[in-house]
Structures are given as structure tokens and as C-alpha cells.
Amino acid sequence: MPKIQKTEEEWRRELSPEQYRVMREKGTERPFTGKYETFWESGVYKCGACGAPLFASETKFDAGCGWPSFSAPKVPENIEEHTDESLRMVRTEVTCANCGAHLGHVFDDGPTDTGLRYCINSASLSFEKQ
């Protein structure tokens, strides 16, 4: 169970409509439209809802899929994975362990040594420059 518990009304007040749609309603932003898709500064990507550190910029790579992609979480305990059987397919959903926000999905087709591609919505992230 997420550590941060808020009502949906509280989340609606705190998040932009797009963030709410993606993080609370498990939506997806359109490919190649997110602010972090072609963003390459050094720092830490955090949960856009609660600020938990999720991914280090060193693990980000260009997967050509239209969303920011990472090979591994910065703090594995801050990520939870769940089976997602929506859209007539089986995928692995990724959520923030701290607040339950939907982040995106993880696939086993990554080009790095982990073999993973965490495909994450920009709307689910904030960024702290180092």
C-alpha cells in the first residue's frame, strides 16, 4: 500500500489535468510529446506527484519509442510493478511505491546490460538538476 494516502479530490487539486489523467487514471501521454522525451540534462527524475527519486539521468537512453526510457530505477524500493491486462495485452505497469502514481510500463527489450526499458510518461515525472 502506498505510504502517501490522499483522496482523489486532493490529487485533482495538486496535479495538472494531464498529470491527473496519467498518474491517477492510468493514462498515457501521446508519443513524442512529453517534456522529458528528448531531455538530456544530468540529475534525478522524481515522481511528479510526491517527489520520490525514481531514475538517474545516467540510466536514460533513447529507445525511439516516444517516451523517456530508463534501464533501471535509481531506488528500486520506490518502484512497484503490477500486471496490466488492459488493451488486450499483458504488460507490466510501473507505479510509485510512495504514492501509487502510475508512471508507465517496463519491457524486457532494453539495449543495456539490464535488458529492461522503463517506458515512463513525462507527465509522471519532475526533474532535479545536479
CA pair distance 57, 73, nearest whole angstrom = 10
CA pair distance 107, 127, nearest whole angstrom = 23
Residue 57 contacts by C-beta under 8 Å, 6 or more apart in sequence?
40, 41, 42, 43, 44, 45, 130
State the distance between the two ends of the chain, measured CA to CA, in whole angstroms.
31
Residue 6 contacts by C-beta under 8 Å, 6 or more apart in sequence?
14, 99
Active-site residue among 47, 50, 99, 119? 119
**99 catalytic, yes or no?**
no
Q: Give the active site residues.
A: 119
